Amino acid sequence: MAQVSITSLQKSYGSVDVLKDINLEVEDGSFVVLVGPSGCGKSTLLRSIAGLEAVNGGAISIGGKRVNDLAPAKREIAMVFQSYALYPHMDVEKNMGFGLRFAGTPKQEVAARVAEAARILQLEALLKRRPRELSGGQRQRVAIGRAIVRKPQVFLFDEPLSNLDAALRVNTRVEIAKLHKLLGATIIYVTHDQVEAMTLADKIVVMNQGRIEQAGKPLDLYYRPANTFVANFIGSPAMNMVEIEVTGKNKARTLAGGELGVPLPARAKAGDRLTLGARPEHLTLGAPGKGLTGQLDLVERLGEVGYAHLDMAGGGRFIVEVRGDVKAKRGDKVGVVPDPAKLHLFDANGKACAS
């Protein structure tokens, strides 16, 4: 297994820059998840690491060796594709062994490695089947098996769960996490699903418009988002945000006029505009007049918790986590009280303010 490091990576299609100065370190044996909205460049980055896309600048090295000019097969990587990309005309065994057989590996070794992978993934009973005789989940396992058989330095997963149904997705997610522990493999994994990112990753890399917005441990990203994009993207429901104007020391008001006591950074002066962010679980509903003011729109009850959706006085919507009964009815005015210790402040450029 090996470390992957990417420095100043650039990639453009004509005049469109899809990757802009990407710098990323993937530690040996770690599970890194690239996450971001569609078109953010995460798949392109993965395909660049695989060697399926040529890059315009920067360096990619795997295990300390620069691989920019190496063919994909020489990079010691294995890739699991979104559509699984199993060869339809080969049975499971041939699919898994194809790369090795093609590279001229002795037959016994191919057979042994395929058998080993089949054992790990419980595919033994399916070895003689064609892909079309397999269910989605089984195809997925074969695709992973094909990667394992290659004994790569790095596994690359391109949205591997997006073609599975919800229940299977949860199962397979757990399987992949177990597999990571079992193989001790370095994994780079692309998804647009932040739940997958949060549950699987050692390190999450949030991408947007060809740039890395923030990279870090899942909970660090959750508790200390570096900017409004990450704050919005990580966490479900998303973080609530409202623009505020500083009125004095640790005092601010919303643009709608609600007065707030919030711990502000020392350098905040009266008149500064900031964005206040609060996660749904760090807000509580109170009597009207306390904190911010909103009008209750609806309450989603999920069992253990519920989410109250509010139309805020200054425009915009808030989602507040509620436990137990909500007395207010639809259309009632309610107060929204933030937990001052758990608030996030972002400056006018969307960057988090150091507190």
Partner 1 sequence: MADNQQIEMVGMNRSAYLRVLAFFLAPAVLIYTLFSVYPLLATIFDSLYLRHEGGALTFNGLGNFQTLLTDETWSKPFWNALRNNLIFFIIHMCVQNPVGLALAALLSLKQLAFRNTYRTLIFMPTMLSVVIIGFIWQLILSPLWGIWKMGLNAVGLGVLFGPYLGQEHTALITISLISVWQFVGIPMILIYTALLAIPDELVDAATVDGLNQWQAFFHVKLPLIWPTIGLVSVLTFVANFNAFDLIYAMQGALAGPNFSTDIMGTLFYRTFFGNQLQLGDPTMGSTIATMMFVIILMGLLVYLYVIQRRIQRYSF
Binding residues for partner 1 (CB under 8 A): 47, 50-52, 71-73, 77-79, 81-83, 85-89, 98-99, 102-103, 132, 146
Shortest distance (Å) from residue 103 CB to partner 1: 6
Shortest distance (Å) from residue 132 CB to partner 1: 7
Identity of the residue, 49 or 292, whose beta carbon is nearer to partner 1 in the bound complex: 49
Shortest distance (Å) from residue 107 CB to partner 1: 17
Identity of the residue, 82 or 295, whose beta carbon is nearer to partner 1 in the bound complex: 82
3-state secondary structure of 329: coil
Shortest distance (Å) from residue 130 CB to partner 1: 8
CA-nearest of 230, 232, 173 to 206 is 230
Identity of the residue, 71 or 354, whose beta carbon is nearer to partner 1 in the bound complex: 71
- What is the torsional sign of CA 42, 76, 187, 110? positive
In the chain, at which residue ranges do the beta strands (DSSP E only) sit? 4-13, 16-26, 31-35, 57-62, 65-66, 77-80, 154-158, 186-191, 203-208, 211-216, 240-248, 251-254, 259-261, 273-278, 283-286, 292-301, 306-312, 317-322, 333-338, 344-346
Identity of the residue, 77 or 334, whose beta carbon is nearer to partner 1 in the bound complex: 77
Distances in whole angstroms, Cα of residue 301 to Cα of each of 88, 236, 320: 45, 15, 12
Per-residue b/e over 201-237, b at no fewer than 16 CB within 10 Å? bebbbbbbebbbbbbbebeebbeebbbbbbbebbbee
Identity of the residue, 102 or 223, whose beta carbon is nearer to partner 1 in the bound complex: 102
Identity of the residue, 142 or 296, whose beta carbon is nearer to partner 1 in the bound complex: 142
CA distance linking residue 145 with residue 115, whole number of Å: 10
Shortest distance (Å) from residue 142 CB to partner 1: 12
